[in-house]
Amino acid sequence: MNYNRNKEIEEADAPVIVFERVSKTYQKGTPAINNISFQIRKGEFVFIVGSSGSGKSTLIKLILKEIEPTNGKIYVNFKDLTRMRHRQVAKYRRGIGVVFQNFRLLKDRNVYENVAFAQRVIEVPGSTIRRQVPFMLSLMGLLDKQKSLPTELSGGEQQRVALARALVNNPVILLADEPTGNLDPKNSWEIMKLLEDINKRGTTVVVVTHNKEIVDKMQKRVITMNKGILISDEQRGGYSHAY
């Protein structure tokens, strides 16, 4: 598995997520996102923070093209999302790794199968799956849990399975929506260290979180939202500057 993706590291400065004056108003509402512009470059690690209802999940849904902006332009991986054809959307989404607060694992499949499934749906050859799934599980420290069902795992282990599944197809971007929301501090830090390792290997990582301690300690770029408006965007920022 060519996990280093040398070509992409060479293009480390290329913007992989671009929002240009983007607004989103749900039916009968005030704007959930109001005239937002920002760029995230290849290989960056970015936190998105803000109080409940500030528009963070809306932002993630826009990036995944689960919803359409009311105004503005969004480019991801050099594709104009507003002009993407319906039949191209599934393939586009498979190019982005995503993890959520509640893990979203297949409950009736073991750890190995949960990760392999992400490859089976895009018809990766069996021999490649048999090589790449154990590699990914070993990166996540899960080789000895391959045969366990999600219900037999701790929350931290379940999130590591979700990470393995999100990463096995080698995405350029990993989106994490509250990845530590259901975890205790020790497991939260383990997941954040893994996200940092993944980022060092070249993957662009975008993390939505309410975890003040983690944001303050990690000293990454922090985009802060408030009532649909981007109120600050700081390199080596902190949560404490948020409100």
Ligand X SMILES: Nc1ncnc2c1ncn2[C@@H]1O[C@H](COP(=O)(O)OP(=O)(O)OP(=O)(O)O)[C@@H](O)[C@H]1O
| Backbone φ, ψ for residue 143 (5° rounding) | -55, -35
The least CB distance from residue 63 to ligand X, in Å, is 12
CB 38 within 8 A of CB 223: yes
Q: Which is nearer to ligand X, 79 or 210 (CB)?
A: 210
Site string for ligand X, 45-84 (x = CB under 6 A): -----x-xxxxxxx--------------------------
Query: What part of residues 96-155 is at the interface with ligand X (CB under 6 A)?
Result: none
Taking CB under 6 A as the rule, does residue 32 contact ligand X?
A: yes
Taking CB under 6 A as the rule, does residue 224 contact ligand X?
A: no
Q: Which is nearer to ligand X, 56 or 221 (CB)?
A: 56
168: nearest Cα among 107, 105, 90, 116: 116
Q: Which structure tokens are listed for 13?
A: 């400065």
Q: Which structure tokens are listed for 173?
A: 């971007």
Q: Which is nearer to ligand X, 52 or 127 (CB)?
A: 52
Taking CB under 6 A as the rule, does residue 207 contact ligand X?
A: no
- Strands 15-24 and 96-100, by their bridges, are unpaired
- Strands 229-234 and 221-226, by their bridges, are antiparallel
Angle between helices 155-167 and 126-139 (to 10 degrees): 140
Q: Which is nearer to ligand X, 53 or 185 (CB)?
A: 53
Kindly list the residues in this chain that would bind ligand X in the complex (CB under 6 A): 26, 29, 32, 50, 52-58
